[in-house]
Amino acid sequence: MRKIAVMLSGCGFKDGAEITEAVSTYIALGELNVEYKSFSINKDFKSVNHITDDEEDTRNVLTESSRITRGDVESLDKLNPNEFDAIIFPGGFGVAKHFCEFAALGSKASVKPEIKALIEKFHSQSKPIGAFCISPALIALVLGSHNVAVTIGNDQAVAQEIEKTGAQHIECDVTDYITDRENKIITTPAYMYDSAKPFEVFKGIQSAIKEIVEMA
């Protein structure tokens, strides 16, 4: 049985993991009878009110991620890449805020060292890496020098920043996905299309995960 790691960046698309994308990931993995384990980082941050966009109280990325997983999530330091066949990064701006600085600095962003090492490890072991929504930008920051091919849909401004890393950007519909077979990178736009319906987001993620599992 395949075993896949899922990296969450909190709970809520403006300051954490996009909930529909995360839940879609778990449903799609479950449909394929794939064993999975969730991980996150232990980092405090200022939460964002999803109605007003105001900063509010201080929260913790790991604790917030546990809201999605019903408490079944572990700190990143417990993740041993040798024990998993692939890794998946659902989207949400938590990826671009907590895992790297892409939200603020675009292609000039740095990546949290432990996240960078994690991605490099899976890539060096030739294990599939799935990235949804804004997460392909994170992959580009780490693996752009390998000329990886990714998609975030059709947002030209974000695509240009991704290509500045050395990565290729390929336009893609919300219900579809892009596979870089040489680097084993599988990406789908999800809610990079703001007007996307939940079933469309699920369809794209479901298809991408089937590809990830087949490639693992």
Active site residues: 133
CB atoms within 10 A of CB 194: 7
Helix (H, G, I), strand (E, B) or coil at 212: helix
Name the phi and psi angles at 163, rounded to 5. Answer: -70, -25
User: 38 has which bridge partners?
Assistant: 6
CA distance 64 to 10: 5
Tokens 């913790």 locate to: 60
Angle CA(157)–CA(147)–CA(13) in degrees, nearest 5?
A: 45
CA distance 141 to 14: 20
48: left (phi over 0), alpha (psi -120 to 50) or beta: beta
